[in-house]
Amino acid sequence: MLKTGIKLGIALLISASMISCNGEEETVENNNNGARLMPVETVTIVEGDFEDFIRLTGTVEALEDATISAEASGRILSISDRGDRVQRGGVIARLDDRVIQAQFDAAKTGFELAEDTFNRLEALYADSIISTQDFRSSRAQRDQAKAQLNQAEKMLQDSNIEAPFSGRVEERMVRTGELINPGQPVVRLVNTDRVRILAGIPERYAGEIGEGSEAQVSIRSLGGDIFNSTISYAGNVIDPDTRTFTVEIELENPGERIKPDMVVDLRVKRSTLTNVIIIPRTAVLRDEEGVTVFRSADSNGRKVAELVNIRTGLASGALIQVLDGLEEGDEVVVSGMRTLSSGDELNVITNESNLERAERLREANRPTASF
């Protein structure tokens, strides 16, 4: 008996709840003349400018990055350590130059003797005391001695391996005391005071993007910091594998925070359109019948949802251009339209201009926003 009473009580409670709910739903419908009252967010259309960007991924490369090799043979007496900074013309490594110095001294002595002999014979030749053949032979010996001296001087200079540009030693391939030969790599020297960004632009944009096009660089490893720049180089050759052409963007690198081989996000401007209508992409509904949005329409002083067909244009980031179907002053639903139907009454929670909404989207979604 006790169990039967409990079951009966539960059934009565459920019935009461259902009656209460049904009564509340009917009250809502009566208050809204049979239409649903739907909370939405809207924007009021104002014409503005639309900047169309494409998004790419690029990599960082140092403007000056070289493997410095030896030009002479010898034993390493000293060499810079990794992390050492070297100015242009500064010595990176020194070779044992005693043999080269002796060769230079001998060549210098030989040249001085040949030059002195030539000067004496030149005076005699002017007085027709010696033959033309003897004079020319003396001149040839002098020139040969000069060439040998120049060669020895160059070998002596090459015994000091100098930096072709200012930079930092990033790799060292040999150690002190090792014997090296001409052409053997010694160090890798890198200058990151300025860097370049390399990226590939799809060939369909070849007529729109080139040298001078604006670009924004966002570096993931640096917390998404954005750097504004322009394309400094655009290639004229299409890569047959990727169907892209190479572009370069140069950046100053104070503090050398940007490092080679970092991955970066790029936004490259294609064009700027003036006095156009843009709306958030979230407002656009697509189906097999076309592209639509919900617009606010007046019905006896109430705002109701009206489904209208539109024609879209360029899209970039979170925004899209509307070519036809909307005009300035229209109020468009941008949030809450997924459960909305034509004729539903709109309870507008927030309203702002489409330009204000676009700016908020740009700030909230850097670097992918484009307006």
Give me the amino acid identity at 166: S
- Beta strands (DSSP E) in the chain are 37-44, 48-69, 74-79, 85-86, 91-95, 160-162, 167-172, 179-180, 185-202, 214-219, 225-234, 244-252, 263-280, 285-287, 290-299, 302-309, 311-316, 319-324, 331-335, 345-353
Looking at residue 33, its pLDDT comes to 60
Looking at residue 363, its pLDDT comes to 65
Give the whole-angstrom CA distance, residue 209 versus residue 4: 81
Looking at residue 129, its pLDDT comes to 81
Domains recognised in the chain with CATH numbers? 34-52+274-364 (2.40.420.20), 54-63+194-271 (2.40.30.170), 69-187 (2.40.50.100)
Looking at residue 314, its pLDDT comes to 82
CB atoms within 10 A of CB 61: 15
Tokens of 8: 């009966």
Q: Which residues contact 103 (CB under 8 A, 6 or more apart)?
A: 152, 155
What is the DSSP secondary-structure string of 256-270? G-S-TT-EEEEEEEE
The predicted-structure confidence for 318-327, as pLDDT tens digits, reads as follows: 888 899 999 9
Among all chains, which residue has been given the structure tokens 């070297």?
86
226 near 216, Cβ under 8 Å? yes
Looking at residue 131, its pLDDT comes to 86
Give the whole-angstrom CA distance, residue 285 versus residue 283: 7
**φ/ψ (deg, to 5) at 179:** -95, 125
What are the beta bridge partners of residue 50? Answer: 273
Residues with pLDDT less than 50, the chain: 1-32, 367-371
pTM assigned to the model: 0.62
93 near 175, Cβ under 8 Å? no
Tokens of 149: 């001296």
Q: Which residues contact 46 (CB under 8 A, 6 or more apart)?
A: 328, 353, 354, 355
- Give the CA radius of gyration of the chain: 40
Whole-number Cα distances in Å, 188 to 63, 82, 93, 169, 250: 14, 9, 12, 6, 22
The predicted-structure confidence for 99-158, as pLDDT tens digits, reads as follows: 888 888 999 999 999 899 888 888 888 878 888 888 888 899 999 989 999 988 888 888
Looking at residue 308, its pLDDT comes to 92
Q: Packing angle between helix 98-126 and helix 132-158, nearest 10 degrees?
A: 160
Q: Does residue 216 sit in helix, strand or coil? A: strand
Looking at residue 368, its pLDDT comes to 36
Tokens of 113: 């003797």
Give the whole-angstrom CA distance, residue 180 versus residue 129: 53
